[in-house]
Chain A
């Protein structure tokens, strides 16, 4: 909640401080103090050292795009702070860079995700998906024996030397099917461990070449139907046959038992004629599909209006109630002659110190109809269904959010009140205005000038206040007459969460991003309108 406030105040503070304006009469002066230079050298030095380390690591891991961006950023930072003049840039640079990383980049990335099918089942690249399908589809032949195995090497190729349960030693490689051989050495259990002309790999050598060895498949015979040998640990191997066969040229998987062909359906998965898709897919661009779904999904259409109405009600009432209570308390505790003012103020701020999701859980316990503190201790054992009745649940959510939110309003109102000039108050009293008149006609408008932007940011925050809703009621009680798990206290963001992450297909980051962008547009529009109104307020004064 604090962070939008900082952003708003940042803008005006950067502009007025300009070199030359502060001391207009003075010409250029002597060099910087030694301490200043040292500080500059050390700070820039550390920055560059860290940057060099990061850049080095990026080169090692081959992340070229990030490398180029990081390098450019480092050079720009150095240029800004080493050159003479350009003082505004020196102030603005860190803020702008943070803005790029934490706001702009996140926005661009979300937008990109919104146009893909990224989510469960579409998690990575196509080649990853193919590799993974092949891995899962390769099944051990039922009731086939387990072979004691040694891995041998000759001319850079690897071979499996296996001993059948009958004690026969057989050798084969990726290109050469298994053949009976006479072992030159045998291990303590009688299994063959070496053949003349081949080098037996010890465990150290196995580890060094594990990628090649774990992917090695040795055909049992010239007939691929018989299956092939594979080892996962270098000491035992099993006979596998693929349940699905990949044809790289045709880009299709074929089921070896039913003959069904799965081909790339263009939607990030291998699909058969009848529409059944293989479990594992990959991430592809799906254009506007996610947005179309957001507007046509039947699950959404029914309860959408109710949810939107409640989202606005919740956000507006949350701002109004927290502001009213915060302001009231701020005025009450602003009296200079109040004893123990500091203690009261600290007590006031306590709810602010609890994490919202924790408070949500605690309150949901307090509001338990039968065993909760509220009903049991405060209301003498009444059985009021605080969280399970549609209307009461809404009230409970608002009250808990009031408890969570008023300390923030109390803080900012106290600050704003203390910055109001005393004379205005006095002058009004001289003119015969009462306390109430002074408050409504003078103090409140003056306060609103500085507080209005904070109220708008508070609205935006509550519009997306996921924690309170999700931890307190989980959005419930559920609406009747919808197949979807949406309830009376669901706001847009919790509804998005449920739709994108809980409909049975697993997490759908693409759809979630699309819906988040729509919510962003709503909040941005409301905020822009409100800021315009605030401008008018400033003009009045």
Chain B
């Protein structure tokens, strides 16, 4: 086109440069437009070649993990590769996005084969038909009972658990030398430390200024005999039977009111989790109701502490929610056999669970690993409290429960409800209505 000198070819250099810029954008466009497409191509290519070529080297498993857990899984993945010839690709994902990305991507066949996550995702994952049950068989007995219960949804086990986490009462032994059992005693002890001038807060628990925190406050509620849902005989929750509106629940509402802004000012909704931690680290309170995730910082700060059982508020045991982390297999995995082999027969190994404990510091779900980890008194204490706990409900209806539950707790703590029991009943009927609407 350049050799001819017709009137049509009136390219000035400038206009040509502009045209080139256009072409460049078009190039960028093609690259952008294609991003999702090549992913499809490669995964499809990988699975077809797996079928055709030597499987010992051709099969790949993809696993979504978060940055924290990825290093802990490297050695067990390497072992799997040498023994079975299957590569496990650990894809590091932003933890906050994993569940929803998995739900949207699994049906398209582009999701991973294996997923790491907490058990309370199960309701959503099952509802969307994206996870497959795993059969642990005789191995189930080698895990702590509560962890297997948590991984069970609608009578099926969906995951291999590896860690259990729950809250406990962390006590600064210099400010409060003796362990107490009831909340009243704990608060009295805390107030003693405050009036002696050693501390500023009798008792700390992190709350959300917008939503309070039903999770952290749950042991105080269960001790009064109030649960969120009724439990079936096998320990699973019946999401059609909300159990909040009971005498125990109303007592709990009154307790929040009494401990809140208009009462003893022990619970303070302005104290977020971060502030509570900061104050405890500064030695400003003898008690901190929190999980194992804050323990490393407390130890590093040089604070002398002990892990106490959760304080009781009534005559029932103070049961915390437990969160169980585990591995799930995608219902749409084209490598279901390899994925099951890895999840059931390898990730349940003692060495895998030991490694995960070393990185995360959470009590392992495998009894043999837990016994080893329990040489650490902190792990032992958290583990024993967790054994007494109840799994956080995994039913999808929990989305509706959290918002109202937290909102009402917040109002009670702030002393905004003249009649705490009535406010509590209203909350329960609101939640019931929302669950029934859907």
Contact = CB atoms under 8 A, between A and B. Distances in A.
Contacts of A28: 5-10
B11 A19 contact: yes
A139 interface: yes
A234 B337 contact: yes
B268 interface: yes
Interface residues of B, number: 101
Nearest to A237: B135
A333 interface: no
B188 interface: no
A484 B12 CA distance: 64
Nearest to B132: A135
B81 to A, nearest CB: 13
Interface stretch (A312-320, A337-345, A460-468, A498-506): A498-506
Contact of B37 (A66, A90, A128, A364): A66
Contact of B209 (A77, A368, A503): A368
A128 B128 CA distance: 10
A477 B277 CA distance: 25
Nearest to B22: A94
A124 interface: yes
Given A54-B38, A207-B50, A120 B126 contact: no
Contacts of A81: 19, 22-23, 26
Nearest to B110: A61
Contact of B268 (A85, A140, A370, A478): A370
Given A40-B19, A93-B26, A233 B107 contact: no
Interface string B118-133: 0000001011111011
A483 interface: yes
Contacts of B129: 123-124, 128-129, 131-133, 136, 280
B399 A128 contact: no
A206 interface: yes
A70 B430 contact: no
A77 B124 CA distance: 44
Contact of B271 (A33, A120, A371): A371
Interface string A40-77: 10011011001101101110111100100010011001
A352 to B, nearest CB: 25
A182 interface: no
Contacts of A474: 210-211
A263 B112 CA distance: 32
Interface in A8-30: 17, 19-20, 22-23, 27-30
29 contacts: A19-B12, A31-B3, A31-B9, A36-B17, A39-B20, A40-B16, A58-B40, A70-B34, A84-B6, A90-B18, A94-B22, A123-B104, A128-B332, A132-B331, A203-B55, A204-B85, A208-B51, A210-B335, A210-B337, A211-B336, A214-B340, A232-B336, A233-B341, A233-B344, A234-B341, A371-B270, A503-B399, A504-B400, A504-B438
Interface of A: 17, 19-20, 22-23, 27-33, 36-37, 39-40, 43-44, 46-47, 50-51, 53-54, 56-58, 60-63, 66, 70, 73-74, 77, 81-82, 84-85, 87, 90-91, 93-95, 97-98, 101, 120-121, 123-125, 128-129, 131-133, 135-136, 138-140, 146, 203-208, 210-211, 213-214, 232-236, 238, 243, 279-280, 364-365, 368-371, 387-388, 473-474, 476, 478, 483, 485, 502-507
Interface of B: 1-3, 5-13, 15-20, 22-27, 29-34, 37-38, 40-45, 50-51, 54-56, 59, 84-86, 100, 103-104, 107, 124, 126-130, 132-135, 137-138, 154-156, 209-211, 268, 270-272, 274-275, 331-332, 334-338, 340-341, 344-345, 396-397, 399-401, 403-404, 407, 414, 430, 433-435, 437-438
Sorted nearest first, the 9 A-B pairs with minimum C-beta distance are: A57-B41, A504-B400, A132-B129, A124-B107, A94-B25, A505-B438, A210-B337, A54-B34, A280-B129
